[in-house]
Amino acid sequence: MDGLKTLAVAVNARGIATVALQRGDVLNAFDETMIAELTDAFTALGRRDDVRAIVLRSDGRAFCAGADLQWMQRASANDAAANLRDAERFSAMMRAIRQCPKPTVARVQGHAFGGGVGLCAACDIVIASDHARFSVSEARFGILPAVIGPYLVEAVGQRQARRLALTATQLAAGEAVAIGLIHQAVPLDALDEALDRTLAELARNGPNALMEIKRFFDAIGEYPPSDERAAFTAQTISRMRATPEAKEGFAAFFAKRPPAWEAGAE
């Protein structure tokens, strides 16, 4: 991807894509340019056959401080129609990350506030430094976390999401793990090792199976299955068992050898 102003995007030989936020001078806060570039990056990477997983990361003191306050201040002078267009673009960015067909992993080295928490909530897996802090801080600015709200509720549940939004409290990494906002908190100097372990675990699994898993859990939702959903679960696994990838996975297991996709990822 050429001509990027706010991101650095790369794909390595193992099929791991990295999307790095590049606005460290403003704590990696996003403006309209970063929103557009993140939307395009996750959409494009999600369509690439050679991409196995996507890492969202940044460098500096903050992972992402949410929306750039100068941009927000400029936007406050816009009319209702222009503000709606901005919100729709932000919403499209969140959807592009959350609905990306490839596994997404957030590597969080520093603080995440406001929309930065939304980025974490939209990713499948979040690994953070144990000194990182998290805050749904919109109420401090007289607004609410409307666009990130559904993703926050999905990550931590309705009551915790309300608490975080109402109080704008700062969570330590340990509490963020406890409520499900992030999955793992490690010392900063162990962050890349923890990330590599997770990426290695993903690489051992069938790439098509990983995409089907994401679609499957989106389809069944979080509630006990209805008759229709129960039928869907059966249909899905029966279809998946017959795929070449599944056959290779079982054959490799019984032959006590790596499956073809793992050998190709080394």
User: Which tens digit of pLDDT belongs to each residue from 204-221?
Assistant: 999 999 999 999 999 888
Helix axes 80-98, 32-46, angle to 10 degrees: 30
Would you place residue 164 in the very low, low, confident or very high pLDDT band (cuts 50, 70, 90)?
Answer: very high
Q: Is 146 helix (H, G, I), strand (E, B) or coil?
A: coil
Per-residue pLDDT of 173-213, as tens digits, reads 999 999 999 999 999 999 999 999 999 999 999 999 999 99
pLDDT averaged over every residue in the chain:
92
Catalytic one of 138, 154, 245, 248 = 138
Residue 75 CA from chain centroid, whole number: 26
* CATH number, domain containing residue 226: 1.10.12
116 domain-assigned: yes
Nearest to 174 by CA among 124, 115, 136, 134: 134
Give pLDDT, residue 222.
Answer: 67
Domains identified in the chain, total number: 2
- For residue 236, the enclosing domain spans 206-265
Global confidence as pTM: 0.91
Concerning whether 154 is annotated as a catalytic residue, the answer is: no
- In this structure, the answer to whether residues 58 and 170 fall within a common structural domain is yes
1 domain-assigned: no
Give pLDDT, residue 210.
Answer: 97
Q: Considering all CA atoms of the chain, what is the largest pairwise distance in Å, rounded to the nearest integer?
A: 66
DSSP alpha helices (H): ranges in the chain? 32-46, 69-75, 80-98, 115-122, 149-156, 158-167, 173-178, 191-203, 207-220, 227-241, 244-255, 260-265
